[in-house]
Amino acid sequence: MAFGWIDQQVRVRTRRGLVRTLRPRPADSPLLDLASNDYLGLTRHPEVVEGAARAARTWGGGSTGSRLVTGTTELHAQLERELADFCGFEAALVFSSGYAANLAAVTALAPLRSLVVSDVGNHASLIDGCRLARGTSQVVEHADPDAVRKALQTHEGPGPAVFVSDTVFSVDGDAAPLAAHAEACREYGAGLVLDDAHGLGVLGDGGRGAPHAAGLAGADDVVVTVTLSKSLGSQGGAVLGPARVIDHLVNTARTFIFDTGLAPAAAGAALSALRLLRREPERAARAREVAAELHARLTAAGHEAVRPDAAVVSVRAPSPEGAVQWAADCRAAGLSVGCFRPPSVPDGISRLRLTARADLSEAQIERAVRVIGETRP
Ligand code: PMP
């Protein structure tokens, strides 16, 4: 039977208790949410919802085509201008997801006979970008500018070189040493591509992101990718950078050219969220504060938690099975948490992954820490 070979894999997963299932979330879930990426609590904000509704009423349910044909509305152009301006870059290009934005940035900037250097902790979408790129890719140790230097040294050309890294790593929530990475890249004339999915809205002045905080916004050798699906409470992604890079993406990036443009409702929601963030910059600082408080309380209670650099708090679990059970027990006690275990973690260490939302109250933080303690395996 053509697909019979899948059953053997299913048996192994079942034996280890690692089968993934989809669980539809009700609109009025009673669970306390520390699992979503809605860092600023904006996804249900009336202005964000209205931004989506207004856009759908004006432009329809879909964008009707690829961006180069009929899929670019005035809303897309406005969102691109305001995103670029907010984060301090010359230009921006909006994609249907952060995943597609990362595939575009890496493949378009790592042509034939180039070198693309990639941090071992990078998100799957950057890894897939490296796999799809025509250049050679080299994976280097985590958050290590000297390892980047060593890799860049090996490049004999004639194509360009580029280093790609998350700004905040999605598994442990630790930040990359951006200024040191930029220095390493500049020594070799290499470009720097930073995925700020977890930095936008949380780090930097008023949430302008990790590259802005590191003084890299607007640099002519830096390109940043973001998602609209976390802090901005919507859906979609974007690449920000020098106008020449953005024009190059418009002309060459396959996930831009051959993909239907972002749905107007998603663009409208993201634009409203961005304007809200400009008006209420304190939301970014509050998300960081909640993360620090969660971390402090968890470590005081004896948990092994990584000190958060942004809004992701990672708590070590004893085993993959233990992590799954722990997350299930939290859920049964009314708390929704993320659970990372092999194969989605490269180091084989299983964790609970908590997201610190800016709109969590003190009582909710206290309750979350209590439930995590009571359910510990
Ligand atoms: N980069 C990172 C670091 C992410 O965590 C994610 C989302 N999980 C993405 C990229 C992909 O973004 P999107 O969900 O918008 O496709």
CA 173–ligand 1 middle distance (angstroms): 13
In contact, 56 and 264? CB cutoff 8 Å? yes
Give the pair of three-digit tokens for residue 377: 């395996």
199 lines ligand 1 (CB under 6 A): no
How far CA 351 is from CA of 28, 67, 172, in Å, comes to 27, 39, 9
125 lines ligand 1 (CB under 6 A): yes
3-state secondary structure of 91: strand
In 35-173, the DSSP E strands lie at: 91-95, 115-119, 136-140, 161-166
123 lines ligand 1 (CB under 6 A): yes
Write down the domain spans for the chain.
27-42+281-375, 46-279
pLDDT tens by residue, the chain, 377 residues: 899 999 999 998 888 777 888 989 999 999 999 999 999 999 999 999 999 999 999 999 999 999 999 999 999 999 999 999 999 999 999 999 999 999 999 999 999 999 999 999 999 999 999 999 999 999 999 999 999 999 999 998 899 999 999 999 998 999 999 999 999 999 999 999 999 999 999 999 999 999 999 999 999 999 999 999 999 999 999 999 999 999 999 999 999 999 999 999 999 999 999 999 999 999 999 999 999 999 999 999 999 999 999 999 999 999 988 999 999 999 999 999 999 988 778 677 899 999 999 999 999 999 999 999 999 98
Cα pseudo-dihedral 296, 298, 300, 301, rounded to 10: 170
152: Cβ–Cβ under 8 A, 6 or more apart, which residues?
115, 117, 161, 163, 184, 185, 187, 188, 190
CA 196–ligand 1 middle distance (angstroms): 9
List, for residues 343-372, the tens digit of each pLDDT value. Answer: 778 677 899 999 999 999 999 999 999 999
pTM above 0.95, yes or no: yes
In terms of Cα–Cα distance, which of 64, 164, 148 is closest to 106?
164
DSSP assignment of 307-356 equals: PPSSSEEEEE-SSHHHHHHHHHHHHHTTEEEEEE-TTSSTT---EEEEE-
Q: Which atom of ligand 1 is nearest to the CA of 229?
A: 15
In CATH terms, are 27-42+281-375 and 46-279 the same topology?
Answer: no
113: Cβ–Cβ under 8 A, 6 or more apart, which residues?
134, 135, 136, 157, 158, 159
CA 99–ligand 1 middle distance (angstroms): 6
Give the pair of three-digit tokens for residue 202: 């949380």
ipTM: 0.99
How far CA 299 is from CA of 190, 348, 361, in Å, comes to 40, 22, 19
In terms of Cα–Cα distance, which of 344, 27, 312, 296 is closest to 173?
312
Which of 227, 234, 259, 345 best tests ligand 1's pocket when mutated (most atoms within 8 Å of CB)? 227
167 lines ligand 1 (CB under 6 A): no
For 46-279, CATH number? Answer: 3.40.640.10
DSSP 159: S
327: Cβ–Cβ under 8 A, 6 or more apart, which residues?
337, 338, 339, 352
pLDDT at 7: 95
List, for residues 35-83, the tens digit of each pLDDT value. Answer: 999 999 999 999 999 999 999 999 999 999 999 999 999 999 999 999 9
In 201-345, the DSSP E strands lie at: 222-227, 237-241, 312-316, 335-340
List the beta bridge partners of residue 166. Answer: 195
pLDDT at 363: 97
Which of 123, 194, 230 best tests ligand 1's pocket when mutated (most atoms within 8 Å of CB)? 123
Cα pseudo-dihedral 122, 125, 131, 137, rounded to 10: -30
In terms of Cα–Cα distance, which of 121, 118, 148 is closest to 135?
118
Question: Distance between CA 257 and CA 260 in Å, rounded?
Answer: 8
For 27-42+281-375, CATH number? Answer: 3.90.1150.10
Q: What is the CA radius of gyration of the chain?
A: 21
**Surface-to-core class of residue 22, CB atoms within 10 Å of its CB (0-12 exposed, 13-18 middle, 19+ buried):** exposed
